Amino acid sequence: MRVGILSYPMLFQRDGGLQIQVRETVAALNRLAPCAGRPLQVRLVDANHDRLADYDLIHVFSAINGNFRIVEMASELGLPVVLSPLLSPGWNRATARRAELADRLAGRLTDWMVQTSYAQTKRALQLASLVIALGEAERDAITQGFGVVPEKIRVFPNGVNPHFFTANGDLFRRETGIAGPFVLMVASISSYKNQLGLALALAGSALPVVLIGAAPRHELPYLQQLLALPHVSWLGSLEHADPLLASAYHAAAVVALPSQGEVLPLCVLEALAAGTPVVMTAQSALELPDSTFALRKVRWDDGAAQRLVIEQLVAEQPERARVQALVSQFSWDRVAAQIADCYHGHVQLHDASQPARRHHAV
């Protein structure tokens, strides 16, 4: 079976959680041991040169940025489509009603020449044969916010690269000269991620804030605000495989992610894999049972609560091995095996219910 992986055209012009998820998923799927009668070949589709009709199944990552057109085309060709929508857990029936109202209003005001991203996302979810959510909170958002039946959804989390479990903070301390406890935040520099809120919350706390992440050109004024604070330092962007990134996770007293919303942030899983406790936004799909000793959730705009729980975790540093155990099951290979089972099962169901499919030019 040939599986084509797609997302929006500019995906790999930057690096972040989605890019890592796509790369790691493809690599892990192609590492799976071949099974008799279940061959699997997975590759990124070059939409400018490849034909979707040459694949047996299409897996689309992200339901935004015009990706509904990919789902439409694959469906038109009679291909089963798996969609990983990566939706904010903030979607519910109330927000859906407001979004539907806004879509109808935009349509009427423009003689139906304008369509909202909500309508496009809903279209992609309706056409997809199978939807993969990263957690129960995202599953709820998909069902309540977009009316997708629960039977159409599977829940598989992201994985964690093994090298984060064996990280050591010595490299970071040697390279940076930072010897004492500090708070680390790994995320692109932006007001949505809320680095400034974190920095202001920790002003005067004696805890330096170390930032790692790319700063887009339009966020440079925001970055300058951050760097004007004496307790904030920025290391720029680090490659995911850079040993300094894993070492930074291990060296930090706490990793923070007080952004306005997250689905299943890899930086949180990676920090826990390094044995470091995390304070993160309450607006997230990540749920780990019995994890409050090392994973605390607070509102993104509640700086006082962020400071309180960060200082608590610094003062009562949990045992590193116990923290790591929270994410020991998060393996890319394990996730890939589950996804591959879905591919094979769904193609068989799809083929059994469809007439013979002809290959068409895209």
162-325 matches 2-159+331-353 in CATH topology: yes
Instruction: Give me the CATH code for the 2-159+331-353 domain, please.
Output: 3.40.50.2000
Mean pLDDT of 42-60: 94
**What gap in Å lies between CA 253 and CA 279, rounded to an integer?**
11
pTM: 0.86
Mean pLDDT of 55-77: 95
pLDDT of residue 338: 94
pLDDT of residue 356: 53
Q: Is 2 helix (H, G, I), strand (E, B) or coil?
A: strand
145 Cβ partners below 8 Å, 6+ apart?
87, 91, 92, 93, 95, 96, 99
Per-residue pLDDT tens over the stretch 117-169: 999 999 999 999 999 999 898 999 999 999 999 999 999 999 999 999 999 99
HSE-CB for 159 with a 13 A CA cutoff: 22
**What gap in Å lies between CA 95 and CA 145, rounded to an integer?**
7
**What gap in Å lies between CA 350 and CA 79, rounded to an integer?**
8
Residue 264 has pLDDT above 90, yes or no: no
pLDDT of residue 353: 62
Residue 276: which pLDDT band, with cuts at 50, 70 and 90?
very high
Residue 358: which pLDDT band, with cuts at 50, 70 and 90?
very low
The two tokens of residue 250 are 């291990």
The beta strand positions in 180-320, using DSSP E, are 183-186, 209-212, 232-234, 254-257, 278-281, 295-298
Residue 354: which pLDDT band, with cuts at 50, 70 and 90?
low
Specify the fold of 162-325: Rossmann fold (3.40.50)
The two tokens of residue 99 are 């979004």
pLDDT of residue 361: 39
**β-pairing verdict for 81-84 and 183-186:** unpaired
Mean pLDDT of 308-320: 96
Mean pLDDT of 198-219: 96
Residue 350: which pLDDT band, with cuts at 50, 70 and 90?
low
Q: Where are the domains of the chain?
A: 2-159+331-353, 162-325
**What gap in Å lies between CA 3 and CA 77, rounded to an integer?**
14
Residue 259 has pLDDT above 90, yes or no: yes
Per-residue pLDDT tens over the stretch 70-104: 999 999 999 999 999 999 888 999 999 999 999 99
pLDDT of residue 272: 98
The residue assigned the tokens 């804030």 is 209
- Percentage helix, strand, coil, to 5, in the chain? 45, 15, 45
Residue 69: which pLDDT band, with cuts at 50, 70 and 90?
very high
Residue 348 has pLDDT above 70, yes or no: no
pLDDT of residue 205: 94
- Other Cβ atoms within 10 Å of 329 Cβ, number: 11
Residue 351 has pLDDT above 70, yes or no: no
- Other Cβ atoms within 10 Å of 74 Cβ, number: 27
SS3 sequence of 50-89:
CCHHHCCEEEEECCCCCCHHHHHHHHHCCCCEEEECCCCC
Residue 251: which pLDDT band, with cuts at 50, 70 and 90?
very high
